[in-house]
Amino acid sequence: MEDDSAIRRLDEMGRLVIPKRMRRALRWQGGDPIVLSMTSRDSLLLHRYPQMQALRTVAAGYAEAFFVTYQVPVALCDRERLVTHRGFALAGQPGLSRELRRWLESNEALSRTSLPLLQGSDLQTGILAAIQPHIHTVGAVLLGRCEAARQDALADAAQLLARMIAAQLL
């Protein structure tokens, strides 16, 4: 048997336990929505449902309105990649920086720490507000750096936007 496979039995209720090492490798957490698809008569495909990607159109509208209103760069991301952005000059779509992914995994609600936005990029975030429809963070509202006098108001606005998006995911 391969290193990335496991044999498991279904319990009486049809449940299957996915080994912890596999969940860690896939960065799956308890409560993540998982899509089950039959690929053939005896095969089943599992993959995480990309909640934030499903809201791409709505998120783009929110990001545009936020950018026009507050004149500060804004990006919305899930735990893996950017969903949409306005005001940031981005070429291509490299993955989120390691530091940003670590912050998303911490389930912290708000941060004013400057973190690199993307891998291999000089862009920095100024304010981060977690999108938490349940217990775990599924994404974040990321604002670019701004002057200190506006930070409190922008942090409140970012948290409001994060709550609005989280409400769409319920």
Q: pLDDT tens digits for 77-118?
A: 988 889 999 999 877 777 899 999 999 989 899 998 889 999
What domains does the chain contain, in order, with CATH numbers?
A: 1-49 (2.10.260.10), 52-169 (3.30.450.40)
What is the pTM assigned to this prediction? 0.76
Q: Which residue has the higher pLDDT, 121 or 157?
A: 157
pLDDT surpasses 60 at 1:
no
Tokens read off for 160: 């409001």
> Mean pLDDT over all residues of the chain?
88
Of 26-35, 59-68, 142-151, 152-161, minimum mean pLDDT range: 26-35
pLDDT band at 61, cuts 50/70/90?
A: very high
Nearest to 47 by CA among 55, 56, 39: 39
CA–CA dist 120, 10 (Å, integer) = 43
